[in-house]
Chains A and B, each alone.
Chain A
């Protein structure tokens, strides 16, 4: 805790830590609002093509691995749980809990990415990746190319956010290790938590849209 005197967390243009914290939180939510619209464009594209080709999309979505998709949903929810425990640890000045929970969140995030890339690998093997080697027998070839383009764009953008999140978590672990966070000041942990939970929420919608709707036709 001796670092607190050396490293003062209060920026000069804020009156006090609470002023700084509320401004930072508000800014983070504004950023998340822009993220909603960033992903929103893709959700709109998905809604249009699903509504134009409901039967084709229902059939094609059966090719996604529902077991891996469901496990990944649980993994990501677990990582949100450990993330919120990390914020709790920071708030209550429990440094070991903070570092441990950040590390667990990082591991679960990496597990999610690992499972996601396994799924991608299968898609490459099955020639379901739009491009020169794309092959989807049957009457729904063009719709399948559209579905898998949306699938890779949406899950790819989500995975990119996860990779950025993994980087942020690594920095947070180093900062916590150096004792930068106290119960009075842990804005970076809290704001990164908001980001991580937002990415979780995006997946919570991707999972039913891509994996579940139309599953009963199997």
Chain B
């Protein structure tokens, strides 16, 4: 079988790390960091998502095709958000000139 499972201790470490990151992001959200608040919150969320995907979903140990699917999906998502925002965020510029 090419399928991999990791050890219970690895899963436990990831679980504890996820709980610590949740506590951290909750605590940091009360500090006034200005615009950085959103950046910090989303960076921590990205780290948590990576931990879940890489270790709980075994993405790190899967066939090469799987990361390609994930990257492709995220690329489409980036197109969706980027092109839509490039419309909305520039409307004020167009009307004021």
Q: What are 29 pairs between A and B in contact, CB < 8 Å? A: A26-B63, A32-B73, A33-B72, A36-B76, A36-B77, A37-B77, A37-B80, A40-B76, A40-B81, A43-B77, A44-B84, A47-B81, A48-B88, A51-B89, A74-B22, A77-B19, A80-B52, A81-B15, A88-B5, A91-B3, A92-B5, A184-B1, A197-B56, A204-B45, A205-B49, A208-B42, A211-B29, A212-B26, A212-B29
- The bracket for how many chain A residues form the interface is 35 or more
The 6 closest A-B pairs by CB, nearest first: A33-B73, A208-B41, A212-B29, A215-B29, A81-B15, A36-B73
**Footprint of B on A, CB under 8 Å?**
18, 21-22, 25-26, 29-30, 32-34, 36-37, 40-41, 43-44, 47-48, 51-52, 66, 70, 73-74, 77-78, 80-81, 83-85, 87-88, 91-92, 184, 190, 193-194, 197-198, 200-201, 204-205, 207-209, 211-218
Chain B residues whose CB sits within 8 angstroms of the CB of A205 once the complex forms: 42, 45, 49
| Chain A-chain B contacts (Cβ-Cβ < 8 Å), number | 143
Q: Are A216 and B31 in contact (CB under 8 A)?
A: yes
**Footprint of A on B, CB under 8 Å?**
1-3, 5-6, 8, 11-12, 14-15, 18-19, 22, 25-26, 29-33, 37-38, 41-42, 44-45, 48-49, 52-53, 55-57, 62-63, 65-66, 69-70, 72-74, 76-77, 80-81, 84-85, 88-89
